Amino acid sequence: MKTSILTIRGLVQGVGFRPFIYRIASEMGIRGEVDNRNNGVSIRAVLTPEQRELFISRIRQEYPERWPRFIASGWKK
Q: How far apart are CA 56 and CA 72, in angstroms?
A: 8
What would the pLDDT profile of 4-61 be if each residue is shown by its tens digit?
888 888 777 777 888 999 999 999 999 999 988 888 888 999 999 899 989 989 988 8
Mean pLDDT of 61-73: 73
Of 73 and 52, the structure prediction assigns the larger pLDDT to 52
pTM over 0.85: no
Question: Residue 71: its pLDDT value, please?
Answer: 61
Q: How far apart are CA 32 and CA 23, in angstroms?
A: 12
At residue 68, does pLDDT exceed 80? no
Q: How far apart are CA 32 and CA 52, in angstroms?
A: 12
